[in-house]
Structure 1
């Protein structure tokens, strides 16, 4: 699914490659948080699936399943949000860093983005489950 800039709909996918020598197992959803330009936490409600943000987001709304990555294999997850300002008295939120914990207890990864997650003032983000990447 592609985003629709005119409607403020944004989507992004993120990949994880198993660079190790052993299989790497992912289940369900990664833990995800956002950070601003100063690395400070951004308040956002992260919900599984398209979370009422949009419809027809195939990879986001599918049921999670176990993904086992052999060395060199990759998996991905997607996020969806709207850049929507619903209250002009509330400051719009922008995040330049996505912080991801791929599975419980794993090291957290900080991904600095070229284009921001510009939530407007909705404070809401939809998160998809891990999916194997077919190349």
Structure 2
């Protein structure tokens, strides 16, 4: 039979005292990082002056599905008086070189597609107080129907909000890419 194991050695040190549990050393305190003195705030750019006529044209959001495009554009009353709209804006498109594009522009979605509520809604009178906005929608297809005809891209939108009002130009961040269909549908002003 094997001999019994020896007892484990006891604590070392002075009799009757147990050694203190070991602690990991405290992490070093972080050294302060010098901070740059606060610089004076950069002045905000001066607001763009309100165009003649008291309204500004702004690019909105868009939607594209299988070549069908729907974009909205807002007209913001940046003037001091009410601005009344009714019906449809007059629209023209220009290319990157600011050349007028030959485009068939009509009211509503036909013959581009079937009914689209944003474009086919009946016109109504919209009165904008200062700071308020109205929107209008453009609808088109990016489709190539004839490979011998170069595709058309509109990069500048010109809008006359109502008869007799000054024209407003807007350089676009997304083109009106008509392919070579040459058709554009315009919706009425709506709140």
Structures share fold, TM-score greater than 0.5: yes
Structure number with the higher strand fraction is: 1
Secondary structure in structure 2 of the residue aligned to 1:25: strand
Q: Deviations over 1:97-121 (max 9, x none)?
A: 1100111111111111111111011
Match of 1:9 among 58, 68, 83: 68
TM-score normalized by the length of structure 2: 0.66
Q: Measure the CA separation in 2 of the matches of 1:57 and 1:128.
A: 9
Equivalent pair of 1:51/1:125 in contact (CA under 8 Å) = no
TM-score norm. by structure 1 comes to 0.92
- Structure 2 Cα separation of the partners of residues 63 and 121 of structure 1: 28
Deviation at 1:19, TM superposition (A): 1.2
Gaps of 5+ in 2: 1-61
Q: Which moved more, 1:31-40 or 1:54-63?
A: 54-63
Query: Are the equivalent residues in 2 in contact too, given 1:27–1:103 (CA < 8 A)?
Result: yes
User: Once the two structures are superposed, what CA deviation does each residue of 1:19-43 show, in whole Å capped at 9, x if it has no partner?
Assistant: 1111100010000000001101000
Alignment of 1:1-135 (within 5 A): 2-4=63-65, 7-132=66-191
- Root-mean-square deviation (Å): 1.2
State the aligned residue count.
130
Bigger radius of gyration among the two: 2
Where has structure 1 moved over 3 Å in runs of 4 or more? none
After superposition, the C-alpha distances for 1:71-90 in whole angstroms (9 at most, x for unaligned) are: 11110000010011111111
Distance in 2 (CA, whole Å) between partners of 1:126 and 1:102 is 16
Q: Which runs of 5+ in 1 are unaligned?
A: none
Greater RCO structure (CA 8 Å; 6+ sep): 1
Give me the whole-angstrom Cα distance separating, in 2, the residues matched to 1:22 and 1:95.
Answer: 32
| 1:60 partner SS | helix
